[in-house]
Copies of this chain bind each other. A is one copy, B any other.
């Protein structure tokens, strides 16, 4: 059924986002009748999602009773699944973290053992904050690979062996609530928006082992026709010296084969640096090692040539860099900015901000929570709840 423009979900959204603070505001915003608004607000109050709190200023007549969103009406499980670790948080319905716990995992162990560990962590953190499975309204999960959003099944994820087509939501059967799964970059993009509180056109570019991009159009995740939008790691990059680098996908000279974390480590070892992980390369650069600095800056330049094209095409307000390699900060940004400002059209580059995430560790969990909250509090589910 199509939801209406004065449904319980829409009314709730107006209050949650601060656009409405009273029944009269809701009548003015939606054009619905006073009776309709009152009946639905009463339903939302019964469902504990809205509460009455004090009186506003009168503009003539009886002062209105103020409404506010009860963000403690339930909680959300937010799961940030990485290649080598997982973080599970419990948040309220405003994505405020109430408790969080993390543990090392190996994603290649496959969905059975990994999701059993997630289940254990979720029970642990719920107990720590004094909540029960019955309090969980929704679950949000970010995973390091492509996902069919409508079913929550990973789709040929290159660095998640054994996970193809696995129904991730089935692992949360003990919670009688909806489960939303998306790739980590889309989830982090939502998290960055939540942290920054902005609703513009933004690209969130994650440079970890691979390279991916979350696209925010007007405050919402843009997914494209098959849900694969933002998959920029395999864009072809011409090498000035004619060098050919074969990517794990089988193509040559993909962006992540030249400038991703794996490539950075490979080049650092080839240059004789005493490193075994990309984290160590980033640390050496932070300590001012000239060779490491040069490699990070070169990676930035290569990423910048691709972003320059995307800036011409997409004309974003802002680009936020995140992921392990982005922790390198200044030298990476310098390379990116150099390429973007050199090759983008002046109009598109003029007001563009290119920054590093200010809360890289948080954005995965906050984003997973926001995804679950936004989807759960959409019109149909609240409609059902408020009946």
Contacts and interface: CB of A to CB of B under 8 A. Distances in A.
Interface in A19-64: 28-33, 35-36
Interface of A: 2, 4-7, 10, 28-33, 35-36, 146, 155-156, 200-201, 213, 215, 217, 222-232, 234-236, 238, 249, 251, 305-306, 308-310, 312-317, 343, 345, 347-348, 350-352
Contacts of A351: 225-226
A343 B225 contact: no
Given A215-B313, A225-B317, 7 more contacts: A31-B36, A146-B347, A213-B313, A226-B350, A228-B347, A235-B309, A236-B305
A313 B30 CA distance: 36
A16 B231 CA distance: 37
Nearest to A234: B345
B313 A232 contact: yes
Contacts of A317: 225
11 contacts: A4-B31, A5-B5, A32-B36, A33-B33, A33-B35, A155-B347, A226-B351, A228-B312, A228-B348, A235-B313, A236-B305
A225 B200 CA distance: 8
Contact of A7 (B31, B33, B228): B31
Contacts of A316: 224-225
A312 B234 contact: yes
Given A5-B29, A28-B4, A312 B35 contact: no
B312 A235 contact: yes
Contacts of A32: 5-6, 30-33, 36
A232 B348 CA distance: 11
A231 B5 contact: no
Contacts of A345: 228, 231, 234, 249
Nearest to A239: B238
Nearest to A347: B228
3 tightest Cβ-Cβ pairs between the two chains A and B: A224-B315, A6-B31, A33-B33
A232 B315 CA distance: 11
A214 B263 CA distance: 35
Given A5-B6, A308-B236, A229 B313 contact: yes
A146 B350 CA distance: 15
B313 A310 contact: yes
